[in-house]
Each structure stands twice: as C-alpha cells, then as structure tokens.
Structure 1
Amino acid sequence: MKQTDAASLPGRADVLSAEQPLEIRVLNEGGSLRLNWADGTSSDFSAPFLRENSQSAGSKKLRLMGLATPAPENIAITNIKPIGSYAINIVFSDGYDRGIYPWIYLRELEDAAAPSSPTPRLSAADFLKSN
C-alpha cells in the first residue's frame, strides 16, 4: 500500500464513539498503521509490533506458555477489514489474518508502542489476573 492510502470508517463523525477512530491510515508501504481518534489524538503502530501483539487464541496461548511471538522486521500490513464497529482484522504479508484488534485494545497498546518501550510479554499470571 502507498502512503496515501487511507480508509475512513463508515458513519458520520458526530455519531462515532470516543473509542472508535475517525480514520485508519496504512503508511510506509504497509510498514505502519496510524489511527486518528475522535478526541484529536493519533496512534502509530509498526506492523511487526501489531503482529507480535495479536490477540488471536494461538498467539495468546504461546505467550501464556512463556514463548515469544516475534515478527519479522520486514513484515507488512496487506489488508484491513472492519469487524463490526468495535475492531479491525489486520492481514499481514506472511499470510497471518487471525488477529482481531478492538479499539479499546489498540488504545491500551499506545504506551507500549512507543519506541523506547519493549514489546510487552504476557505471562500466565497476567492472563489469570484479568479473568
């Protein structure tokens, strides 16, 4: 995808919730994703970061077992599909298409996506705390 490619969410800005971005933009030929939120902020995520932080059952299971889910640095976003009004599904250049990224989860990932922050790794204890 080219840097100018953008997808706006269906619906009018006046009816969008604060958790839903106004615009989703794939940048750097699929290397990163920018979300422009209704509150005026934006979030930037690299494709490898999103791939490593997938919430698919398989990825969660690996993290619970203490295994990393590293993504190649050259991985790219090839497609984005809306999942209702609460999330997106991201398809990556390695064919992986099982991760659903709810808006709330993407907001939680903002701090972890900062370049100075290491990629968060979940432990079994972290998962159990949330249940």
Structure 2
Amino acid sequence: MMTAMVAPTVTDCDLSPDLASLVMTTSDERRITLTAETLRAACKCAHCTRARFDGHFAPGFPGIAIVEVADLGYGLNISFSDGHNRGIYPKVYLLGLADS
C-alpha cells in the first residue's frame, strides 16, 4: 500500500510578546520563527513588487512590528506598524522563507 506524501503547512501562528516575530507551528510539529523585518522585506504584494522594480523599496525595516495577522486559509495577511497591510503570504511561501 502506498502512502501519499503531504507537504507540511502552517497550522497555527502567534505573535511574540514584543510583536517583533511571528511564531508558526507546522503540521509536522515544527516551530518556526520569522522576524517582522524579514517578513516585511519579503512582501510580494503589487505595491512592494513595483517599489522594488522602480528602485524605491526600503533596504531594511529596523524596529518594525507586526500589528495584526489574519489567517486566510491558504496564507496569512500580515499588517505592520508602518501601515503596510497589503501583503498576503501563502503558507508555502512562509515555509520557504524559514528554510532559506
């Protein structure tokens, strides 16, 4: 009998007490932490993609905090203390960020 391989996914997430990190639990029971700065810099929304293309994307986001996370099922919508709230981070993308 063959057993289907199922890729791990994010099953739960919490913010660190200082709002500087997102702590995720995966279906294979790993705990992954990504900093707010890493997540903000990795945003792939149209606004950030265009800013990168035009050479106007910030080189870093020191001191940024995560102010809200909404689970959309396939990904997380993350809002940041700089007012940016357009980014949707697919769960598979989050796992890739953690592995890089």
Q: From the two aligned structures, give the one with the greater helix fraction.
A: 1
The total of aligned residue pairs comes to 95
What is the identity, as a one-letter code, of the residue corresponding to 1:20? T
Identical amino acids, percent of aligned pairs: 32
Partner SS for 2:64: coil
Tell me, yes or no, if the aligned pair for 1:19 and 1:103 is still in contact at 8 Å.
no
Q: Please tell me whether residue 103 in structure 1 is matched to residue 96 in structure 2.
A: no
Tell me, yes or no, if the aligned pair for 1:20 and 1:86 is still in contact at 8 Å.
no
- Give the CA deviation at 1:43: 1.6
- Cα deviation, 1:64-117, whole Å, max 9, x if unaligned, reads 34554334311100100122x1001001111110000000111111133xxxxx
**TM-score relative to the length of structure 1:** 0.64
Q: Please tell me whether residue 72 in structure 1 is matched to residue 61 in structure 2.
A: yes
Question: Relative contact order (C-alpha < 8 Å, sep 6+): which is higher?
Answer: 2
After TM superposition, the structure 1 = structure 2 runs for residues 1-40 of structure 1, keeping only pairs within 5 Å, are: 18-40=7-29
The CA distance in 2 between the partners of 1:89 and 1:36, in whole Å, is 17
What is the identity, as a one-letter code, of the residue corresponding to 1:92? F
What is the identity, as a one-letter code, of the residue corresponding to 1:45? L
Unaligned runs of 5+ in 1: 1-16, 113-131
**TM-score relative to the length of structure 2:** 0.82
Residue range with higher mean Cα deviation, 58-67 or 19-28: 58-67
Tell me, yes or no, if the aligned pair for 1:59 and 1:69 is still in contact at 8 Å.
no
The CA distance in 1 between the partners of 2:33 and 2:52, in whole Å, is 23
Q: Please tell me whether residue 94 in structure 1 is matched to residue 82 in structure 2.
A: yes
Unaligned runs of 5+ in 2: 1-5
Partner of 1:43: 32
Please give the root-mean-square deviation of Cα atoms over the aligned residues, in Å.
1.8
The CA distance in 2 between the partners of 1:71 and 1:24, in whole Å, is 24
